[in-house]
Amino acid sequence: MEFDRKIKIAPSILSADFANFSQEIQCVEAEGADWIHVDVMDGHFVPNLTFGPPLCAAIRPHIKTVMDVHLMISPVDQYIDAFAEAGADILTAHLEAGPHVHRTLQAIRGAGCKAGLALNPGTGIEDLDYLLDMVDLICVMTVNPGFGGQKFIHSQVEKVRKLRAMIGDRPIHIEIDGGITPETAPLMTAAGADVLVAGSAVFKGGSVDNPAPYGENIRAIRAAAATA
């Protein structure tokens, strides 16, 4: 994975047809997705349950782009190797998931993945000083994690602006996740985000039998983001 700050759209398969992940992935990639975002939830760190390493391994061969795995789980460390073996390119853990985030990031890179760090909407960026050289991506949650289709939290625009300044020239992606639409995307790209996760706004109106709306939705977000 080469680093660049071009805008990337990462559809979240949380909004896909769960009975049909392989085709859903093929469709959104054919319609212009840059990365595939995989939301792992444990029913403990967040009040919802999704899937684990075997599902990630099963869908991996169908992903031609980048497998971006968002771990909304606590504890997290004991599962890192399993998700790495399942083929994650990027493994993102939450800053709030435990007391030893430095160790978690070391373990992710040690397992051969790019290391991501996610921040809940209520978490500030003050604690990142000593972590910046250990991360390849920072994910700013623009909703409280756990569910697709929630409303964008505007206070996170300022957080992204501050974070962008803090990152400077370091090769760190700023990803935003939650409530991203053609209306909210440009606020975030103007503030400095380069990876836009979108679930409901990508998958709405389409299906594997009618994937054209996926392309329209992705292009609408990309075009809006580019106006920033």
Q: Quick check: 33 and 218 in contact, CB under 8 A?
A: yes
Annotation-wise, does 155 bind a ligand? no
Q: Measure the CA dihedral 138/142/146/148, to 10°.
A: -120
b/e per residue 8-46 (b: at least 16 CB within 10 A):
bbbbbbbbbeeeebebbbbbbbebbbbbbbbbbbbeebb
Contact between 173 and Zn ion (CB under 5 A)?
A: no
Which residue from 31, 68, 136, 177 is in contact with Zn ion, where contact means CB under 5 A?
177
| By the rule CB under 5 A, 42 interacts with Zn ion | no
Among 31, 39, 89, 136, binds Zn ion (CB under 5 A): 39
Query: Does the annotation place 209 within a ligand binding site?
Result: no
State which residue, 178 or 211, has the beta carbon closest to ligand DX5.
Answer: 178
Would you tell me how many other CB atoms lie within 10 Å of the CB of residue 6?
7
CB of 177 to Zn ion, least distance (A): 4
Verify binding: residue 70, Zn ion, rule CB under 5 A.
Answer: yes
Q: Any idea which residues carry the catalytic annotation?
A: 39, 177
DSSP structural state of residue 150: P
**39, 46 contact by CB (below 8 A):** no
Which residue, 80 or 203, is less far from ligand DX5 as judged by CB?
A: 203
Which residues would be at the binding site for ligand DX5 (CB under 6 A)? 12, 14-15, 37, 39, 70, 143, 145-150, 177-180, 197-201
Q: Write down the H helix ranges in the chain.
A: 21-30, 53-59, 80-85, 101-110, 156-167, 185-191, 200-203, 212-226
CB of 126 to Zn ion, least distance (A): 23
Q: Pick from ligand DX5, Zn ion, none: which does 173 bind, CB < 5 to 8 A by kind?
A: none
CB of 12 to ligand DX5, least distance (A): 4
Flag whether 178 is marked binding. Answer: yes
Please report how close the Cβ of residue 129 comes to ligand DX5 at its closest, in angstroms. 25
The first and second tokens of residue 187, run together, are 């606020």
Please give the Cα distance from 208 to 192 (Å, whole number). 33
Residues within the annotated binding site for a divalent metal cation?
37, 39, 70, 177
Residues within the annotated binding site?
12, 37, 39, 70, 146-149, 177-179, 199-200
What are the residues binding Zn ion (CB under 5 A)? 39, 70, 177
